[in-house]
Structure 1
Amino acid sequence: MREIVWSALHVESWTEFIWVLVGLAGQLLFTARFLVQWIVSERQKRSVIPVAFWYFSLGGGAVLFSYALWRRDPVFILGQSMGLVIYIRNLWLIHAERNGRAYQG
């Protein structure tokens, strides 16, 4: 059974198997952000991006970035690192606005 699973996942060791599970967990977090956004938008009958969207983006992006580093995939690393900057910046802006420190530029 183990050989079938490992073959399907293209892994040859427990370390690779664990990292594939980490990557899958990151992808699930990343997917959850779309589900949250969709549910909130449907309830409000308009397009809404809730704060949870950005937290799921950050969590999923961080896990996927770790996975990309382990895989040593420069395309994946670049893609995830750029996303992390955007997610952090959006959360920063949201929290600054909530604390009355919105940008006055």
Structure 2
Amino acid sequence: MLIQYGAALGNYLYDVFVAKFDFWLAFGLVAQLFFTARFLVQWISSERAGKSVVPMAFWFFSMGGGLMTLVYGLVKREPVIIVGQALATIIYVRNIMLILKHRARESQTLDR
């Protein structure tokens, strides 16, 4: 029984990652890796600071990975990915805008 489950899992993984491999699958995997990198950046920054922080790079990785995943969803016609990433990407862009606005205000205050 265990051997049958192992064989079935092997067949499934082969079908998903090898038999269906094309440019868009590679693009989607790179998008997901880019998106996942944001957590590594956030974790490393937090460890260095000794507290939880969200660096600017986190938002750029979020936006880049989100946009790539959105493109993948549009090409593959996946409504769940399209809806999720379209909204999330808007939030990432807005967070970057807020951070830049705050930094500009801080630099103006320091210049005075």
TM-score bracket for this pair, using the shorter chain length: 0.7 to 0.9
Contact 1:6 1:17 in 2 (8 A): no
| Residue of structure 2 in register with 1:57 after alignment | 62
Shift of 1:7: 3.5
- Paired residue total: 93
Question: Which of the two has greater helix per residue?
Answer: 2
1:37-95 superposed Cα distances (whole Å, 9 cap, x missing partner) = 00000111100000000000000000000000011011110000011011000000011
Structure 1 vs Structure 2 CA RMSD: 1.8
Separation in 1 of the partners of 2:15 and 2:49? 45
Q: Which runs of 5+ in 1 are unaligned?
A: none
Contact 1:62 1:84 in 2 (8 A): yes
Structure 2 residue matching 1:46: 3-state secondary structure: coil
Percent identity, aligned pairs only, is: 47
Max radius of gyration: which structure? 2
Q: Which runs of 5+ in 2 are unaligned?
A: 1-12, 107-112
Give the TM-score, by structure 1 length. Answer: 0.82
Contact 1:69 1:77 in 2 (8 A): yes
Contact 1:23 1:64 in 2 (8 A): yes
2:28 corresponds to 1:27: no
- Of 67, 76, 90, which aligns to 2:81? 76
Which amino acid counterpart does residue 74 of structure 1 have in structure 2? P
| Residue of structure 2 in register with 1:87 after alignment | 92
Give the TM-score, by structure 2 length. Answer: 0.77
User: What stretches of structure 1 move > 2 A for 4+ residues in a row?
Assistant: 5-10
Structure 1 residue matching 2:48: 3-state secondary structure: helix
Structure 2 residue matching 1:49: 3-state secondary structure: coil
